[in-house]
Amino acid sequence: MYYLDLSIYLSIYIYIYIYNVVLHSSSFLLQIMASVLKVPARTIFEHQENFVALSGGRTWKSTVFRRRRLSISTLSMSSMPIQCLEKPLTASQNTGLPIMVNGCTGKMGKAVIESAVSAGLHLVPISFGSAEQSGQTVQVGGKEIEVCGPSDRENILASVFNEYPNLIVVDYTVPAAVNDNAELYSKVGVPFVMGTTGGDRERLYKTVEDSKVYAVISPQMGKQVVAFLAAMEIMAQQFPGAFSGYSLQVMESHQASKLDTSGTAKAVISCFQKLGVSFEMDQIKMIRDPKQQIEMVGIPEEHLSGHAFHMYHLTSPDQTVSFEFQHNVCGRSIYAEGTIDATIFLAQKVKLKAEKRIYNMIDVLKEGNMR
């Protein structure tokens, strides 16, 4: 049984409206969902309020999430068995595991540092930043960290790696730095976790694959969100075309500073497309206005600067059947905790001399060694 943190509102819920008789297709779809997601009904349905879509004045039903701990049953993924083949690092083994967090002045970098310190990892007091930040000493999580600029980064990283041979680098810098940073880590040969999104992803993967360095690369570090995406992929693979003819509406809300469309939303939509739904990515409703986020979406005011709310609403051609999926995140702790799990996972791979390759968060989940 999982208990989600108060700052995380992660829910998957399905509404089915049948007016006269139970449709055979609805029964079939229920069996599909029951086989993929086993969630007690009492944890899914709560107080409902109208959610007005941005287009057409359509009214959606949206669950209002109360600030309490939600009890959610374990996700069943029979076609993707969890393999606990390797013993996880214990808390005492985590102590002393060196971690270097690049982008320590950013919100995600700070969150990761705080989680690393809490997990007992050894924070290396050096971080790469911009030229403007070079030479600064910042205090995060009770630790002082020296920020180094772009100049002489290779020698600095090589020196740190020589001092800490078990070093794992975590990158939460900026999209424009993704490729140069990956090339640096690959050249020095240091294992790294890339949490920064953006950049040339094809070039990123090629760089790392050619260098044969240990790496975890994932645009989504939230473990529970990744599990949901995995369940969607399984459903899409096992039941292609199950939602043929259904219409789809998608809304995603993030902090105003996020200018691009949610990559998580795109991943979920790609699954729906495999399930037979016709939908283009430019149809996604992006909400970045704080007033709309508070009044329409229900974002807590204290989380306007850091949240990720997603809603997917499916309707049958005759309007008698409706499905709704939602996953909401307030704050950054879910991503920071997932990043630390990925760091410990990668350290274990290095220790056991496993295959040098690019791993992702699905690999971390399948290992079954999360804290």
% of the chain exceeding 70 in pLDDT: 74
Assess whether 87 carries a catalytic annotation.
Answer: no
Which helix (H) or strand (E) segment holds residue 294: the answer is none
What is the band of 219 on the pLDDT scale with cuts at 50, 70, 90?
confident
Inform me whether the pLDDT recorded for 66 exceeds 90.
no
The DSSP secondary structure of 89-136, one letter per residue, reads PPHHHHTT-EEEEE-TTSHHHHHHHHHHHHHT-EE-SEEE--TTTTT-
Confirm if 53 and 285 have CB atoms less than 8 A apart.
yes
Which helix (H) or strand (E) segment holds residue 212: the answer is none
Confirm if 63 and 13 have CB atoms less than 8 A apart.
yes
* Lowest-confidence region among 48-52, 157-161, 290-294: 48-52
Residues 110, 254, 303, 310: which is the catalytic one?
254
Predicted local distance difference test score (pLDDT) of residue 67: 34
Cα–Cα distance for residue pair 25/321, rounded to 1 Å: 10
Inform me whether the pLDDT recorded for 14 exceeds 60.
no
What is the band of 204 on the pLDDT scale with cuts at 50, 70, 90?
very high
Structure tokens at 18: 């049948």
Angle between helices 201-211 and 178-188 (to 10 degrees): 0
* Lowest-confidence region among 61-65, 131-135, 201-205, 284-288: 61-65
Give the burial string for 305-340 (b: 16+ CB within 10 Å, else e). ebbbbbbbbbbbeeeebbbbbbbbbbbbbbbbbbbb
Structure tokens at 247: 């219409």
Query: For residue 160, what are the contacts with CB-CB under 8 A and spacing of at least 6?
Result: 100, 124, 126, 167
Q: pLDDT digit string (tens) for 295-306?
A: 999 999 999 999
* Lowest-confidence region among 26-35, 65-74, 288-297: 65-74
Assess whether 254 carries a catalytic annotation.
Answer: yes
Decide the pairing of beta strands 358-359 and 48-52.
unpaired
Cα–Cα distance for residue pair 319/102, rounded to 1 Å: 50
Cα–Cα distance for residue pair 297/368, rounded to 1 Å: 34
Structure tokens at 11: 């829910």
- Taken in order of first residue, the domains within the chain and their CATH numbers are 2-79+223-331 (3.30.360.10), 91-219+334-367 (3.40.50.720)
Predicted local distance difference test score (pLDDT) of residue 56: 45
Residues 122, 258, 285, 356: which is the catalytic one?
258
Cut 0.85: pTM above it: no
Nearest by Cα to 262 from 229, 303, 302, 216: 229
